[in-house]
Structure 1
């Protein structure tokens, strides 16, 4: 962690918080890290997920029952929960570049936080309801949250450093997954190779890995990892990331076991994806990139002979939505699908999705410092193909070629991309693949 960039990041958050407090009529901001939750009728805890607002300020991702107090003109006060526990390993003693920038209060019991959090004035308390302490109940003021969520889309220099590092952490794991695929490994063993190379466990991945061989690549959020290798490994679609200090990378690659038709489709999608990355420019409406994706998918469907229609007709008749049913991407940062993607301004007004495109996750105009994913896909999804077959456009589909390509599931290629003020975007993913051996 770069101390100078972190200090600037914290100063920026302090200024944003003070402005939001003043505009929304509050005197201080309390942020709960959250609590550990347990399975129903069990003593087994779920994986702790910190409040994103908490880890926005501090790189502390495994610290339930901690709190942050933010007041105008004061150093942030961190209430750091460190129990005397012989059942589990408690949090380590506070250390790191962040430590000099906070007023530290260490507590051994959750209720001890009260003595450090009760300050005069109106309090904005951000957190889940179960984080409440006596007299301190999260109220999550909508006006204040809208301001903070709007601003969070634009990343500080410190945040971009963490996201570059998260991309670099994921790259060796993607290479290990590719090697395991080429060796004929099962989905489960590919997943294990990914974990080993990334240094992650299932507990601390930013999201559950999608490891899809062959037809499984047609399931957009395929959730299983088959322990049995297939008789033939035709393709691998792996959607997997990494995280550093609470910031995520989100990378998808599709690999081929060598097939003339699928390789041609994969090459066409690679070219289209790079062209779409280049559309990430300041002031561009992200919805336009999504619509551009449909035009590019249409051209591929026509050029590859998958559907015998003009690219224009494929878009006009919504045939492209059969093969590309999701959005082109989303905001990325503290959360994989970072919040604030549908905001028109900091009041919370919504920027609508384009008509006929219900699954797009980002409808904002791009600004320098935003990090977005660009993830075009082209899939052969049985349920959607059946619906297409029943329409007039179904007669234009080369069903024999579709049947062949369906054995490979589909293609998705995803990069994490920074919008910059000086023209061309920064591709965090490709840069990491270029520098990490």
Structure 2
């Protein structure tokens, strides 16, 4: 893999154009969707294939035309608008690599695109626009599969962006932790996080999970209660940040008191660090996920939650009731980066094991890849109810389990670069404990 200071997708474009005997790629940033029966629009999120090329993440109606020979054409949308603030295109480190053409109306792209669309691939979300412009080759799987597979291998430029995203996210996590120990509400904690990262709610890479007490048992909790709980017991924050379109995705869990739940967090943190060390080139992420279940079983046994050995606990499927999701995923300019189930750049799909359907990658671990490692231990009513009705209920110390329900759960997540000869835990390198 060539190491340069540009995103991987730029490197791979020439290859896919040649292999596919294509004249060009027309990559559409997308347009803002209008709310039904309203004059307002949903927050705009750009096409990930567009932001792979340049750090324009909030301007709709832009296009890239890439032929692999000349400088890519950037059709930049800069309307004449007195209602809204228009994003001006400033001279930046990347602008000299593009032939920039300003368009003031979205329809002006027709004059920028070649009249003959034969051999030109449209990549974007709006098939109706592609059809109207005369494209016939729209999001071909051969092109998307190639990009998605190679996206896993990051360049030095991408490492720099992801380190900065982690630095910003850690600032937010530290502010959120302080707000929790100051007995803030979920909404208060969210505001502290956004202020510290300098992000708006629309700029974070995903909806922040700011959960107190039993709310932490909801895996993707985003409700943000404005009222403070009567008691602060536990706090789970799963929140990231963006830099030049690249994401950080970090999770921490805290106990308000020095109690047994705090001890459980310490044990889970030690387990998470051990799993991080398992990210080695040539090994299997699936195997690492399975190892997580055995390590979790040992913790469940040590804290007297389950009266059974680790081997039996995993084979009977008990650990899955306490940890129902995957260990982690690829990370990049999408939080759940594409390509995690691909065996090759033709798109050959590799299913995760049937007993682990929520695992987000079945791909082997290689150098220059970036992963999250996010083990968890939860006391989720849905899974505990199913466990109580099963033949495995007799192995559970229900009094002990019930005593932890009020805390909700634990998840700890770091963002890790796999170098060929070492690991780089970006999250811990910014001293987030």
- TM-score normalised to structure 1 length: 0.95
* Alignment-derived partner of residue 100 in structure 1: 96
Of the three residues 424, 429, 432, the one matched with 2:430 is: 432
| Pair 1:205-2:184 in alignment | no
| Contact 1:153–1:340 under 8 Å retained in 2 | yes
2:379 and 2:21 mapped to 1: Cα distance? 52
Of the three residues 76, 81, 86, the one matched with 2:82 is: 86
| Pair 1:309-2:308 in alignment | yes
2:3 and 2:29 mapped to 1: Cα distance? 19
1:138 and 1:131 mapped to 2: Cα distance? 13
Cα distance, 1:172 vs. partner? 1.4
| Contact 2:9–2:150 under 8 Å retained in 1 | no
Of the three residues 33, 52, 59, the one matched with 1:56 is: 52
Q: Where does the alignment leave 5 or more consecutive residues of structure 2 unmatched? A: none
* Alignment-derived partner of residue 404 in structure 1: 403
Show CA shifts across 1:186-221 (max 9, x none). Answer: 111111111111111111111000011000010001
Cα distance, 1:383 vs. partner? 1.2
Moved more, 202-211 or 133-142: 133-142
2:352 and 2:49 mapped to 1: Cα distance? 26
Moved more, 20-29 or 59-68: 20-29
The alpha-carbon distance between structure 1 residues 131 and 171, as it changes in their structure 2 partners (threshold 3 A), is: farther
Moved more, 14-23 or 49-58: 14-23
2:361 and 2:53 mapped to 1: Cα distance? 24
Cα distance, 1:72 vs. partner? 2.4
Moved more, 217-226 or 259-268: 259-268
Please list, as runs of the form range in 1=range in 2, the aligned pairs for 1:163-182 lying within 5 A after superposition.
163-182=162-181
* SS of 2:371 mapped into structure 1: strand
* SS of 1:224 mapped into structure 2: coil
Please list, as runs of the form range in 1=range in 2, the aligned pairs for 1:9-408 lying within 5 A after superposition.
9=6, 13-118=9-114, 120=116, 121-128=118-125, 129-132=127-130, 133-136=132-135, 139-408=138-407
* SS of 2:361 mapped into structure 1: coil
Cα distance, 1:434 vs. partner? 6.1
1:131 and 1:229 mapped to 2: Cα distance? 48
Show CA shifts across 1:400-435 (max 9, x none). Answer: 11111111001000000111101x311011012269
Cα distance, 1:130 vs. partner? 4.6
The alpha-carbon distance between structure 1 residues 222 and 138, as it changes in their structure 2 partners (threshold 3 A), is: farther
Cα distance, 1:107 vs. partner? 1.0
1:33 and 1:138 mapped to 2: Cα distance? 17
* SS of 1:402 mapped into structure 2: helix
| Contact 2:34–2:41 under 8 Å retained in 1 | yes
Q: Which portions of structure 1, spanning 4 or more consecutive aligned residues, are displaced by more than 6 angstroms?
A: none
Cα distance, 1:119 vs. partner? 6.1
1:21 and 1:334 mapped to 2: Cα distance? 22
The alpha-carbon distance between structure 1 residues 225 and 434, as it changes in their structure 2 partners (threshold 3 A), is: closer
Q: Where does the alignment leave 5 or more consecutive residues of structure 1 unmatched? A: none
